[in-house]
Amino acid sequence: MSEIVILYILCRYDATIYKISKIMGEMFFAFLKPSLGTINPAIKRLANLGCIETSDFISQGGMASKTCSITPLGRKHLKNLLLSLEFNNPAHILNNVQIAIFCSDVLDEEEKEQFKKNIQNNLILFKGRSLEALKNPYSGLSEEQKNIVNSKIDEVQKILELI
């Protein structure tokens, strides 16, 4: 998700790595906590793919720095990432879906429909698996555990209603 968020930010602003980190923290505060240890490798991957360009400069304090900007290929890559999302880790699905929806305003209307169908399908599958787990007599879930699973199901339903 860090590549999606970085590309999304760069669609709006040219920014240094520090500024990207700061914007991530401000714009995506409800979904993730950025670290330079995550951002720097993602920037390098995106630069190697030709999705972003960097330009070196010396800051007012005399420090070497880089400004990142998105390329046309980067805009296309962002759309492709959003349209082909796979949610393999159920522990992160709700957070990742919310980040993806947050960034989906870069898609045109046709792409948004494809995006919504993918999100809906993934959430419906997650909801179905969760309901199966609740019904499984061998799961041995306590009432508290069932309540937690039910709260996740409620979150899924709210997101489905939003999109």
Q: Render 32-88 in DSSP notation, one character per residue.
A: ----HHHHHHHHHHHHHHTSEEEEEEE-TTS-EEEEEEE-HHHHHHHHHHHHT----
* Residue entry with tokens 């602003």: 13
CA distance 65 to 37: 16
Average pLDDT for the chain: 91
Q: Which amino acid is at 149?
A: V
Which pairs from 145-154 meet CB under 8 Å and 24+ separation? 152/94, 153/127
- 133 and 73 within one domain: no
Which candidate, 17, 19, 27, places its Cα nearest to that of 103?
Answer: 27
Q: What is the pLDDT of residues 96-129, one digit of tens each?
A: 999 999 999 999 999 999 999 999 999 999 999 9
- 94 and 34 within one domain: no
User: What is the pLDDT at residue 88?
Assistant: 79
- 5 and 73 within one domain: yes
Domain residues for 68? 1-84
User: What is the pLDDT at residue 66?
Assistant: 85
- 35 and 24 within one domain: yes
